[in-house]
Structures are given as structure tokens and as C-alpha cells.
Amino acid sequence: MFWLLCLVALIALLWAIARFRLQGEDLSSYDVPRYDPVRRVPSPEHAAVLEKVRQFGADAQRQRGRLRLHGLRAAMDALGDAADLDGISVTPVTADAIPAEWITAAGGSADERLLYLHGGAFTLGSARSHRVLTTEIARRTGLAVLAIDYRLMPEHPRSAGIDDCRRAYRWLLANGPAGPAPVRRLFVAGDSAGGNLTLMLIAWARDAGLRPPDGAIALSPLTDSTLASPSLSYNEHQDPMLGPMARLLNRVPRPLLLWFALLQSRRNPSDPELSPLRGDLSHLPPVLVQASEAEILIDDARRYVNRARAQGSPAELETWHGMVHVWQIFGRELPEADEALARLAAFVERCRQLRETAPRARTA
């Protein structure tokens, strides 16, 4: 009986810690307002993209453990080989000991820069894997894009990747494609996990007193590592890329998920460094968020934009109906990707104009 009471007490303690320490506040009030999608009916080309998603890493998926992880990493890196390099230079560089590459377009500006943080669930991805995106961003905006290889889990704790992003940000302020030179305009962008890091980074730069970016772009970002967004449930059958994972997670009691998140990242999942949605969202630079109405992270995007706007920060949400997670990575083969990238470039231009009309609003 004594051991049974101890077990019950332990379970109660673990539940209480998950409920009152790891879960964070209820943010369901930020599920509204909603936003009209840019496009409601997916293009015919989207069917081919869906098939690619289903076949992604098919050989690696049959492996287990490290072999599976390495296989998925190799398959994801290979996606970048489809990048159109016409008029594009790709130059390896070390940014404060962090492996990276400069992506520059002919006629682009060396003192207008963008730090790109790749996605991949903090375990996959690289500068190479996302070249379809980074080359298109450089080509369409004229920005010099620095894509970094931040440290990944599980070899490193999540805080190591965060530290790499912060060091790269500081380095980018004083270094361009040709060497040391001050930045004139600065942007940060990322997708999925990289979107999470992007939104973390702009709040950190504000709190650290650093020169803020002129704008930030988050594509299908994870904003809440406590996994509290309702779309994780109602879109689990609509999201072809992340849906299978969501179906597994939704079968696990919430307190266990929170403890798993704590053990995996070695940090409280409600910490704003892991869940930027749960931090101070005031006094941030302009933010553009793009997401699909069909993905499990749509409410992460919606809640972040609604909460940032409620706290006075300029934030925009653009959504597409029925798209796969981070559809922008399919570049010119998908009309919706072309639309999204064009709107991304338009956002960059609006931020440029904003800086021109309010030059004293930013500090060097």
C-alpha cells in the first residue's frame, strides 16, 4: 500500500508540474480573428507536389535509429540540388565558426542582407537543403542571403542551435559577402523550425539592444513548443507532411507530451526561447507569416500574428488553402510557391520603403 501511495503521489506531482509549469497560459483567445486565404483552390501542379511529399525519404523511412536520421538528412539535402543557379553565386563561408554560405544574385546588394534559418524539426536540414528557397529570395529581393548550418538535435541540445543563430546575427551586422562591412538593411527569415528560430531571434535582438532587423519572415512556423494549438488535432488528416506525426502525438496524454518535450529539448517547452508565441511580442519589427490552412501549424501562425498585433507590433498573416507544409520550397514548379515568394519580395520592398520614410526609427 505504501508503494502504491508513493506511485500515486509521484504521478500527481508530475501531472501538476506539467499542468502549471510546462504548459503555460491558455492562448485560445488568439485563435480569432481569422484571415482570408490568398488562394482557395489548389493548382493542378499541387498533386505532383503531394506525391513528392509522400515519396520523400522512402528508403530512409524503412530504416531505424541513426540510419533513418542520416538517410532523411541526405534526402532533404538533395532537395537543394534542384535550385536554379542561373545568375546566382553560392559562396561557402564561416560565420563566427558556424558553417554557412552566401547566396547572392547578379546585381544584388552586399549591404542589404538576410539571415536564413532552415527548417527540419531541429534535426534535419542545412543551407544546401534549402537552396531552392534561398536562391529565389536572393533573386527576387536583391538581398545577400546568409544561410547557416546551425547545430542540430539530437547530437546537440536545442539551445546550441539557438546560440548559433544569435552568433550568426551578430556576425551578419558587421560582415557581408565581400568581407567586413556594416549592414545597411537587415532581414531574418526561416521556415518551420527555422521560423521558430526567426521569431525567437527578433525578440532576443530587441532585448539585447542590438540593431533590429528591418523585417522578419516566418514560413509555416512552429511558434508554440507546448503543442497547444487546436490545428494539431483538426488538421491531422489534412496535412500530408506533418499529419502522420500529429496523429501519433494526439494519442499521447498532454502531460506526457510536455515531459517528452522537456526531455528532448532539455528546456521548459513554454520558455519563450522555445515558444516565441509565449514571450513579449511588443516593439518588434514588421513580421510576415505565411502558412497553409491545411497544415497542423496554422494556429501557431494565427495565434502569433494575433497576439503580436494585440501587443502593438506590425504583423501580417497570409494563408493559402490546401497547401503542404512549407510549399514555398517547391519554387517555380508550383504556382502557389511563386505567389508566396512574390508576396515575400513585396513585403521586403515595403520594409525598405518604411525605413526610407522613418530613418531614425532604427539604430545602427
**DSSP conformational letter for 284:** P
Bridge pairing between strands 175-176 and 179-180: antiparallel
Question: CA nearest 296: which of 325, 275, 274, 317?
Answer: 325
Q: How far apart are CA 290 and CA 245, in angstroms?
A: 21
Q: How far apart are CA 287 and CA 309, in angstroms?
A: 10
Q: Cα dist. 255→122, 213, 250, 268 in Å?
A: 22, 37, 12, 13
- Report yes or no: 228 and 258 within 8 Å, Cβ to Cβ: no
Q: Cα dist. 192→41, 176, 196, 241, 357 in Å?
A: 23, 26, 6, 12, 32
**Active-site pick, 192, 225, 292, 313:** 192
For this structure, is 45 an active site residue?
A: no
What does residue 48 show for φ and ψ, rounded to 5 degrees?
A: -70, -35
Q: How far apart are CA 134 and CA 256, in angstroms?
A: 37
**DSSP conformational letter for 26:** -
Omega before 335 within 30 of 0, i.e. cis = no
Omega before 154 within 30 of 0, i.e. cis = yes
- C-alpha cell recorded at residue 197: 528560430
Q: How far apart are the first and last CA of the chain?
A: 67
Q: How far apart are CA 18 and CA 360, in angstroms?
A: 45
**Active-site pick, 101, 325, 336, 339:** 325
**Active-site pick, 236, 293, 295, 318:** 295
Q: Cα dist. 352→106, 113, 213, 214, 357 in Å?
A: 20, 12, 11, 7, 9
Helices 158-174/254-265 angle, 10° precision: 60
Which residues on neighbouring strands pair with residue 115, listed in sequence order? 146, 188
For this structure, is 325 an active site residue?
A: yes
Active site residues: 192, 295, 325
